[in-house]
Structure formats: structure tokens, C-alpha cells
């Protein structure tokens, strides 16, 4: 069974520090990867997408992908209390037309 | 960005009744939509792929006769939970892929979700 694995946390980070979230996946067919943020009782909100090996930066967020190691990460710089949420890592199934496989999510707490 | 809506946002029903949840793409057409389910403190699990004009594709372990999916138009997919039981209580979320992107694993736009509680 194709899986996406994440440490459920909670991960506690001081305000202003860098939060580092990690994810591994088992399906080598997956070509596209996503980080979603989910607040309690709400649906997921897309933070970053990444398709190629290496880093992709968007504001305070940097996604990293290593297909050889089947590893995806998300760095959040200058963490803010509003970043406190559950972060879901997702991999596109097959060619992308088959939906997403999600990890269980990492609960991130930014301490003021 | 593209907007996906769901209705109702919250529903409480008695055991044995059926509940219909609607998913609409508001400003784009979606030939494919996805239905996910999320139990408390769990991740989203794909239930089925809704295909406009053809039958839905269900994931292993999801009963197609219990979770009826109808993709009636290019902007509407419905999920009907038939003969609902307390164990069906969950957060149901639909999504549709980015209509303007041709990349593999297109960005999914998620609806706001429907909280189903079966008493």
C-alpha cells in the first residue's frame, strides 16, 4: 500500500525560529508533492507544491524534495503563532489524475 | 484561485437515514472531483474519484452501494451516504484539480468540508 509518513508531533518551536517538517513517501511513481496547512475543523489549505528535486522557496516557506531518498520537507522561517496548525504532506497518486495520498500530519505549535 | 463549495457544511441525522452532500466548482469546470473522508485526529483518506459522465471509481474498502456518487454536470458532484450509521460520522471533503495546469499532480482545490454526525 502506498504511504506517506510524517511524525505526528506535536512539534513545538519558539516564535521567530525555523520550523522543520519532514515527510517520506513509498510510491516511486509519485511525481508531485504538496504541503497543506489544516486548522482544526477546517479543510486543507495549500502551502507549497514541488515537482523537481531541490528547493523551492515562497516567502517564509521552503519546500525540499529528494526523490532518490523519497523525502520531502518544509521549512518555515520566522515562525509566527498563526503558523500553529497541522501540516499535511501529500503525494500525487499515479499521474496526478488519481487524487492525493496524505500523511497523518504534523501538529506544529509556535510558542510566543 | 479556483473556488470549490460544499453544502451543507454541517449535518446531523438519525441512524438509518440518507444524507446527500453537494460539491460545486464555482468558477471552473471539473470533469473529475475527489471525495475524501477524515476521522478525528486522522488524515484525509481518498474515498472515490467522481467522473463526469461515467461511473465513480472507489478506493479499496469503500462500499460503492453505501456511498453513492453522481457527477451530474461539469460543476457538480454529489455524495450520498445511504443508511448512515454512527461509524459514518466524519468530515467529508471534496476537491477538484486545477483546471489551468497541465502538470502532473495538479493542485487540488478543496471544498470547506461537511461535518456529518449520525446519532
Q: What is the pLDDT of residues B14-65, one digit of tens each?
A: 999 999 999 999 988 888 999 999 998 888 999 999 998 889 999 999 999 9
Q: What are the start-end ranges of the E strands in A7-111?
A: 11-14, 19-25, 33-38, 45-50, 54-58, 61-66, 71-76, 85-92, 100-102, 106-111
Residues of B in contact with A34 (CB under 8 A): 105, 107-108
The answer to whether A99 contacts B110, with C-beta atoms less than 8 Å apart, is no
First-to-final CA distance of chain A: 40
Q: Average pLDDT in the A59-68 region? A: 96
pLDDT of residue B104: 46
A&B contacts, CB < 8 Å = 68
pLDDT over threshold 70, residue A97: no
pLDDT over threshold 70, residue A7: yes
pLDDT over threshold 90, residue A13: yes
The answer to whether A99 contacts B46, with C-beta atoms less than 8 Å apart, is yes
Max alpha carbon distance in chain B (Å)? 43
d(CA A65, CA A67): 6
Give the helix/strand (H/E) hosting A68: none
* Summary mean pLDDT of chain B: 91
Amino acid at each position: 500500500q502506498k504511504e506517506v509518513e510524517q511524525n505526528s508531533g506535536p512539534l513545538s518551536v519558539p516564535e521567530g525560529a525555523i520550523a522543520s517538517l519532514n515527510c517520506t513517501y513509498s510510491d516511486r511513481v509519485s511525481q508531485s508533492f504538496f504541503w497543506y496547512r489544516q486548522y482544526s475543523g477546517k479543510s486543507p489549505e495549500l502551502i507549497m507544491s514541488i515537482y523537481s528535486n531541490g528547493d523551492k522557496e515562497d516567502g517564509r516557506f521552503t519546500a525540499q524534495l529528494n526523490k532518490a531518498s523519497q523525502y520531502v520537507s518544509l521549512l518555515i522561517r520566522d515562525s509566527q503563532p498563526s503558523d500553529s496548525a497541522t501540516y499535511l504532506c501529500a503525494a500525487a497518486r499515479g499521474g496526478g489524475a488519481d487524487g492525493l495520498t496524505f500523511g497523518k500530519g504534523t501538529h506544529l505549535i509556535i510558542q510566543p | 484561485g479556483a473556488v470549490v463549495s460544499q453544502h451543507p457544511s454541517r449535518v446531523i441525522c438519525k441512524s438509518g437515514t440518507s444524507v446527500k452532500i453537494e460539491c460545486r466548482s464555482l468558477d471552473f469546470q471539473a470533469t473529475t472531483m475527489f471525495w475524501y473522508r477524515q476521522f478525528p485526529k486522522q488524515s484525509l483518506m481518498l474515498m472515490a474519484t467522481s467522473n463526469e459522465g461515467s461511473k465513480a471509481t472507489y478506493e479499496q474498502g469503500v462500499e460503492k452501494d453505501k456511498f453513492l456518487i453522481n457527477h451530474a454536470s461539469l460543476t457538480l458532484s454529489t455524495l450520498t451516504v445511504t443508511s448512515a450509521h454512527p461509524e459514518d460520522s466524519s468530515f467529508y471533503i471534496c476537491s477538484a484539480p486545477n483546471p489551468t495546469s497541465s502538470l502532473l499532480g495538479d493542485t487540488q482545490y478543496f471544498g470547506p468540508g461537511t461535518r456529518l454526525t449520525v446519532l
